[in-house]
Every structure is written in structure tokens, then in C-alpha cells.
Amino acid sequence: MTREMGKVLEEARGDVQEAIDMTFFMAGEGRRMYGQTVPSELRDKFAMSVRQPLGVCGIITPWNFPMAIPSWKIVPALVCGNTVVFKPSSLTPLSAVNFVKVLEEAGIPRGVVNMVTGGPDVGTVLSSHEAIKVISFTGSTTVGRLVNQNAAPGFKKVHLEMGGKNIVMVMDDAHLELAVEGCVWGGFGTTGQRCTAASRVVVHERVYDAFLAEFTRRVKALRVGDGLKDGVHMGPSISESQLATVAKYVEIGKQEGARLVTGGSRLVSGDYARGWFHEPTIFADVTPQMRIAREEIFGPVVSVMRCRSLEEAVDIGNDVTYGLSASIYTRDVNRAFTAMRDLYTGIFYVNAPTIGAEVHLPFGGTKATGNGHREAGIAALDVFSEWKSIYIDFSGRLQRAQIDTEEL
């Protein structure tokens, strides 16, 4: 995985571990495919609900978590009794091949999990083919909209997990060293190539200068390079085009008047010339209306903003098109619960960065991040199954539901 997409080896191991964790969790859910049993309106009648499989599931996954994300989709699909056609990113096919090989070794029957490689044309076929009953997609909002449009004529169930522009709010009572550590990991882990990356940091004006100085010091100390080597903290961008996107937004930030504190350039000398490496970059004195504070960059660029209160920080956090993840650093439990309530996101953290979701809770977001479904946790079962309500009449005569209830 590190050779294929660049994340440092420690993170790649975490990616694999997450796939293991998800598989263990979902395997247990196979014994807990709970429905409901409820009293009927009529005496001699039994009422219950059960889950039923959908059929063939189309799975389209991105390159940034090439084993974890497929596990979030494929394993619950199988546990619910479906078959799968899996299209991984064309940038990380080898990780996907290895994932499917593990499923084969585990005894998944031939034809139950099917992997196809290719680009957008293959995704179009999957999202529009009549045999596919549900399509689960993780990727950009632009492509997700196309997937949704392709699937709509066939009335397919569609699950979309798309972009994010996540915020960390650092209050004036925060443990600053902890907040800095979280923002470094949240902003520059996986080279910022996470939908949950902490690409925005809003800091209370009373601690803004102190936070920015320490954050800058820590980011300058990050070592960029080959993820297979010890001591490397951040790898390359996934591709030349992604690096170009990062460079474009750095220029946009400069033109908008944000203050470039550190980074801002591609790394090209020595071994860096052989890959798509970019310096970890911080912009300070960013305003909420700047593009670098509103649009997903998917790279090692973090925008730092000021606020005067929790209320202002929450307003800044909510004022983007996405609603995936948010975080607050504070020692005040009242502030923590207020922020927890008022941030309109699918995920929220207290005294931790915007990354670090666990497999047993729902994962996904609001607004342009998704379309209302969730993956991970038992919420994933709702994507890959349908409910069937069952009524068993053992009266031996016609009972007319609500009409005959007066006879009871």
C-alpha cells in the first residue's frame, strides 16, 4: 500500500488493521441481524420484521484508504447476504487485489465477490446497470453527483460518502500542546488526503499567536519523504494531478491575501524529484470567505482563522457546503456539549482531531458530504438490506386489521 499510494508505513498498517477490525465487527453482526417482534392489533396474529438482502451490490472505492474503505462496504454487504461487484480506484488496484485474495483465502465462494478495474466508464456501467440493486460510492462530491444521476432511472438504492472541509475549534481554555498535536496529525496525516482531514483550524483570539507559533514549529519539523523509511511523517501526493491541485490552491491562498506561514512549494531536489512531494503548508490570518477555507483541497494545506467566541467558531464551522467532521479543544464541559449540539456534522470530537473514527459507530456526514446514509456500525446494514414486515394470522378466519379491532 505504501509503495502504491504513498502513505507512510505506520498509517498503511493502520489501514489494514481497520479492515480487520471492520471484518470482526461485521462478522458478529451476522448473529445480530435483529428485526422487531411486536404485538398485533388482533389477538390471533403475530407480527415481526426481518432484513432481506438486495442482490448485487456495486462498490466504488477511492485510493486514499484502499483496504479500510472496501471493508466498510464489502463486508456488511456479504453479511447481509448479497453479492458484490467491486471497482477500486485505478490508482490503487494492487491493494484491492490483495484485499480480494484475503477474502478468497477466507473461503468466500467463487462469484460472490467480483473485482473489476478501470476508470470512469466502468463506474458508469456499475451505477446504471439493471442488475445492480445498490451502489455504494466514496469519492468526490462531483463524481458522487454523477453516480446518483446514473442510478436514479433504475430506482437503485444509493449510498454516497463524499467530500469534507472539516474544522478544529481551539478555545482559549484549551490544552494548547494537545491541540497543536491534534491539528498536526489531523491536517497532515495521509498528506492531508482524507475526507476527514482537519483542513481548517479556528483559534480563539486570546491564544491565537501562541497556538500558531507552536503549530508552525511542529509542522516545520515534519519530515517528508518515502513512506517506507523510518522517521518519515508525510508521504507524497497520490498523483501529479493531485499535486497540481494543491499547488493551485496555494496560489489561490496567496492571491486572496492569506499569510503563508510555512511551506507553499513543491519539493523537487534529490529524491523528491522522483515523486509528487509538497511541503506541509500553513496559511494564517485566513478569513472564512476565502476559497482555501471553503473548498476541499485534499492535500497538506491547513488554514488558520481567528474567532472571538465559541458561537463565532461554530458559525464558521457550519458555514461551508460540507458537514462531515468537526472538533473542539476545550476544558469546559459546557462549551464541549454546546459545540457537540450545534455543529451540523455527522461526526464530532472533543479534545481530539477530526480523524479517528472507529468501526462500531456510523460514519458519514451531512449536506454535500453525503445523501443521508451511513457506513460502519450497524447503520451499514441499512445500506445493504431491505426491511420486510411479516404478519402471521393463526385465527383460521379473515381478520380485517383495523376494522375488526373493536371485537377484541
Dist. CA 61–CA 117, nearest whole Å: 11
Q: How many whole angstroms separate alpha carbon 88 and alpha carbon 67?
A: 10
* Known active-site residue 161: yes
Query: How far apart are the C-alpha atoms of 174 and 19, rounded to whole Å?
Result: 33
Strand partners, 48: 37, 390
Whole-angstrom distance, CA of residue 23 vs CA of residue 290: 41
Q: Residue 335: helix, strand or coil by DSSP? A: helix
Residue 334 CA, distance from chain mean position: 28
Could you say which of 18, 29, 161, 279 is catalytic?
161
105 catalytic per annotation: no
3-state secondary structure of 20: helix
- Complete DSSP assignment for 343-395: --SSEEEESS-S----TTS-B--EETTBSS--BSTTHHHHHSEEEEEEEEE-S
Catalytic hit among 57, 80, 183, 195: 195
Active-site residue list? 161, 195
